[in-house]
Amino acid sequence: MYYLCKNKNMEAIIIKTKDKAELNFFLELAKRLGAKTAIIESDADERLFQSMEKNKNTPKVSRQKVLDTIHQII
């Protein structure tokens, strides 16, 4: 089970809990801190999360290089 928490700047974190008690702990903590929450339970979200984890360690690319690549495709 995953727990998604967003702050006012629309930044988000995803927490994978080991059981319902741990999930409830994080939900209560977020509530006390005033954060918005959502629970994610689908397999598609699991795959997305794994992909995000894998790609977070890839090298950064400059904005200009991304724009140049897009222009080449178009």
Is there a contact between 17 and 26 (Cβ–Cβ < 8 Å)? yes
Beta-carbon-side half-sphere exposure of residue 53 (alpha carbons within 13 Å) = 10
Instruction: Read off the pTM.
Output: 0.46
pLDDT at 13: 77
- φ/ψ of 58, rounded to 5, equals -75, 155
What's the rounded Cα separation, in Å, for the pair 55 and 35? 26
> Which residue range(s) make up the domain with 39?
2-73
Q: Which helix (H) or strand (E) holds 17?
A: none
Domain count, the chain: 1
Which pLDDT tens digit goes with each residue over 29-63? 988 988 888 777 666 767 777 888 887 777 888 88
